[in-house]
Amino acid sequence: MFVRPKFDASSADLQRSERAIVCRAERLLNDASAEVKAAHPGIQLESMLGEGDPRDVLCNRASEDFVDFIIVGSQGKTALTKAMRGSVSQHLLHHAPCPVLIYPPSRAKVLTNDFKREVNEMATKSHPNLVRLVGYCLDFSPVTERMEQIVIYEFMANGDLEQWIGPSAKEPLTIRQRLDILIGMARGLEYLHEFGVVHRDIKPANVLLDDKMKAKLADFGLVRHGEGTSVAATRVMGTPGYVDPAYYKSQKATPMADVHSFGVVMLTVLTARKAICNLESDQVNLKTWVTPLVASSNVAAFKDPDLEAPDTMVLRMARLAISCTAMPTATRPSMSRVLAELMVIKDEFLGLETNRMAERIDRELDASTPQDFDGELARIASIKSYSGM
């Protein structure tokens, strides 16, 4: 059921909603606008949401546990949209924006396997580098005669990694930021693999960043390694350029499929190019293009010009990335090994003691109330002085 929201969509609200990151939507609720207008003729959706795609909808889910939320700026299947206001138990979210994952509607009055798998897996998983499952919403629409399925995750203030790399990036990421993001991804994948769980769709758009630029994996096409011949296990998921060719051919998901995709993401982070990129008017596979350049140590030819980092460091990371995509798959490193190598690279090139001091302060800030401002400035200054920054 769709009803009028309990707040006014003022210009300030819309500005806040534009800053609110959000959700990955696999389907628009195309009938929402008509249903809202039919129930509340006075609502002018176009004026509330502004100009843009006419499919943009004002969407409200009403039940005992779910309250109002807005979805704006939808572009279609797998498009990023923006959501504002809490949509699950206000005492949990305190009116904070949160991302919403909308599954394709089920034609039957039952849950789809994708939805059940994601909820069941993520409800039992907790890790700093996985987005937190806040709740989910189920509703059978009498208009479409379909089951609407929505998964709601924690709010991630800095969007996804795709928004931070390439020519349209918000601003260039430092080498430390890029390395920390990759380390966070590796930790999240290592955790999933310990449970025998494969993500299956690792790519920059599925790496969300919180207000501290900490990376968290999202949009899970989860499957347990060894599920045999079940539909969930055999249906190939992934994105062209990132998906493991061995997985695509065999249709058998293993942790090595995630390792391959992670390696391609590493290359996108180092080159600021997409997995399928344009070079001299031709579309080429990033891995295919980079591999000979890495083999010849021609760092200048593939390195992101905005990346300020030693060529030796970039080359070492690129070689690690290429090893993640190796064939046969048995020659690829595990995520634990990849994580260990990234930590060694960080320690060697960015300073072991400085890293430890920064991580200790981060842990203290996460676990306690904020320190006084002057004290924090002094601590930051001491770190910069120690590291020669």
**Residue carrying the six token digits 């051919």:** 249
CA–CA separation, 56 vs 78, rounded Å? 15
- Tell me if residue 201 is catalytic: yes
3-state SS of the chain is CCCCCCCCCCHHHHHHHHHCCCEEECCCCCCHHHHHHHHCCCCCHHHHHCCCCCCCCCCCCCCCCCCCCEEECCCCCCEEEEEECCCCCHHHHCCCCCCEEECCCECCCCCCHHHHHHHHHHHCCCCCCECCEEEEEEEEECCCCEEEEEEEECCCCCCEHHHHCCCCCCCCCCHHHHHHHHHHHHHHHHHHHHCCEECCCCCHHHEEECCCCCEEECCCCCEECCCCCCHHHHCCCCCCCCCCHHHHHHCCCCHHHHHHHHHHHHHHHHHCCCCEEEECCEEEEHHHHHHHHHHCCCHHHHCCCCCCCCHHHHHHHHHHHHHHCCCCHHHCCCHHHHHHHHHHHHHHHHCHHHHHHHHHHHHHHHHCCCCCHHHHHHHHHHHHHHHCC
Q: Which of 160, 201, 219, 258 is catalytic?
A: 201
Contact 129/73 with Cβ under 8 angstroms?
no
Question: Known catalytic residues?
Answer: 201
